[in-house]
Amino acid sequence: MGTEKIDSSQFFIVSLLYTLGSAIIFIPHIVIKHAQQNAWIASLLALAIGLLPLCLYFKMNQRFPNNTFIQILEATFGKIGGKIVGFITITGFHLYLTVMTFRDFGDFVFIHLLPETPLHVILILLVIVVTYATKEGLEVIARVGQILVPIVIFLFLLSCVLLLENSDKNNLLPLLDDGWKPVIRATIPNIGFPFLEAFVLLILFSYVKPREKLDKSMFLGVAIGGFMIVIAVTFSLLVFGVEYSSAKIYVPYLLGAEINIANVIQRIEVIIASIWIVSIFIKICILFLTTVMGIQQLFNSSNYRIYVLPLALLIIPLSMMVMPNMSYWAIIENLWPFYAALFAVCLPVVVLIVSSFKRKQGKIT
């Protein structure tokens, strides 16, 4: 496994920024589209439900305190069965999510920041930076997060304060006029994205020291990140209302254009973009890192870094193949929560049930 390690405070920061990731810029549009003025309720409900799967991961950590992710699967399903389940999980969840998040970043930068730059050039530059960060390792990524997270939180709070003047509380009314059905409909994609994606962080458990303290760190990181997303949804409604927010994909980014201080400080979308770029960069690094770590564990390699370059060469063609254009987001939005639940909920449940049965038989100590 190597000698890399991070402490519980660093794992908290990794969990926080990973949860914010691309969700803080994408989720408001999706939730508002379905729940309209009640989107903030749907987002709060998604936060409450989305934290529940973490209990499964913490239980797995308690049951297998000295095992890596793949070792847990091997102890549960047998040597060969564990390898097969591990391979399906690493490729079907970790790699697929890495590819999607890469494409998220590329599309946003292409549409709003560098429209004259070809998409593949943006993706190539991102791959170079992420490859370098991954080769530097988990400790370096976590330290970068420690440096950047105070800036992210400050800019986020500053944006909220500056947007208060443009807010209209009437945009949150009427309350539940169509009942709970639209709220529940909006909650489903919000649970899948980003809360079920926290399953990826299981691979990092064996790198957190002391490992027994990671539960609180991860829970707080995901909870605070999730609550920041709730705030982003709420301010999107307060400032823009339902019609505009449901029509624009990158609503929180556009909030920056509404900030105007004495006609001197205005159109500071860069603040919103900075929050998003920092969080999604850390998320992409963690996804990339956990994917190569998973491959390392599958093949019992001494170092995950030997897989970084091959994966980097695959990412761009895969991102173009999996998501040829942004219209595919409509399909992914509807299917992802259920697909993600197979790995993030069903697999941990099966692991806990089977391992409990084997423990009773004395096959697992």
What is the predicted pLDDT for the residue at 135?
A: 95
Please tell me the distance from the alpha carbon of residue 215 to that of residue 16, in angstroms, as a whole number. 13
What is the predicted pLDDT for the residue at 267?
A: 63
Q: Against a cut of 0.75, is the pTM above it?
A: yes
User: Can you name the CATH fold of 8-360?
Assistant: Amino acid/polyamine transporter I (1.20.1740)
Please tell me the distance from the alpha carbon of residue 252 to that of residue 29, in angstroms, as a whole number. 9
What is the predicted pLDDT for the residue at 349?
A: 98
217-239 residues labelled b (16+ CB within 10 A) or e (exposed): bbbebbbbbbebbbbbbbbbbbb
Tell me the domain boundaries of the chain.
8-360
147 CB burial (10 A radius; 0-12, 13-18, 19+): exposed
Q: Which residues of the chain have pLDDT under 50?
A: 1
What is the predicted pLDDT for the residue at 324?
A: 75
